A and B are shown apart, each in its own frame.
Chain A
Amino acid sequence: EVQLVESGGGFVQPGGSLRLSCSASGFTFSDNAMHWVRQAPGKGLEYVSTISTNGGSTYYADSVKGRFTISRDNSKNTLFLQMSSLRVDDTAVYYCVKASPVTTVTPYSDYWGQGTLVTVSS
């Protein structure tokens, strides 16, 4: 059974930093690209960042570029999101998301963690 368990969320003041982690199990972690997707309270979904299987390729939404860094440790089946210079509008539930296998016709997000809440407020 695929499991994605996020941790590291919490309350932080504007300008602060947080590091999110996602522990993965039930699949070959190193074979799958991974994403972070966030959802502000009462709002829709936004892709934040994506990392390739070996970490050699990354993508960031414009809203977080230069402030967030995605990384992974394939030896520990763990995905990370280092967030710095946090702003009030970064407040959201952050989901760790597994990309569909490369063999699928088109890419999609096939498994999601339960999410971790990040609250940025003074």
Chain B
Amino acid sequence: DIQMTQSPSSLSASVGDRVTITCRASQSINKYLNWYQQKPGKAPKVLIYAASSLQSGVPSRFSGSGSGTDFTLTISSLQPEDFATYYCQQSYRTPWTFGQGTKVEIK
């Protein structure tokens, strides 16, 4: 199985901060990398697919980059509603696998 490793596991940030989360795949996955946001008690929601494509309806402060094994999710200016857990996920090969998650908390 392809292992996905996110860093950091958690971070504290303030409203307005620029936040970067990284995700590394155990082998090349081209651009088959998606990012999801999950708030407590809610289902995940896709933010970014194909490494850098913004899902319809998602604010433009979210962006993704990368290819191969190294990927980044950036929130350009953190908003109160962005405090959540973020997961990367590869869809290059079954089984699709997720990173362990990055919890973004209020500083």
User: How many residue pairs, one in A and one in B, have C-beta atoms under 8 Å apart?
Assistant: 64
Question: Is A102 engaged at the interface, CB distance under 8 Å to the other chain?
Answer: no
Which chain B positions have C-beta within 8 A of A100? 49
CB pair B53 A105 closer than 8 Å: yes
CB distance from B13 to the nearest CB of A (A): 21
Question: Is B61 engaged at the interface, CB distance under 8 Å to the other chain?
Answer: no
Contact of A109 among B30, B46, B99 (CB under 8 A): B46
Interface of A is mostly: loop
Interface string of A33-48 (1 = CB under 8 A from B): 0000000000011110
Total chain B interface residues with beta-carbon distance under 8 A = 29
CB pair A95 B43 closer than 8 Å: yes
CB pair A106 B43 closer than 8 Å: no
Please measure, in the bound complex, the distance between the C-alpha atom of A106 and the C-alpha atom of B101, giving whole angstroms.
21
Interface window among A20-28, A70-78, A110-118 = A110-118
Query: Which A61-106 residues have a C-beta within 8 angstroms of B?
Result: 61-62, 95, 100, 104-106
CB closest residue in chain A, given B87: A45
Please measure, in the bound complex, the distance between the C-alpha atom of A110 and the C-alpha atom of B53, giving whole angstroms.
13
Question: Is B34 engaged at the interface, CB distance under 8 Å to the other chain?
Answer: yes
B residues contacting A by CB (< 8 A) are 30-34, 36, 38, 42-46, 49-51, 53, 55, 87, 89, 91-92, 94-101
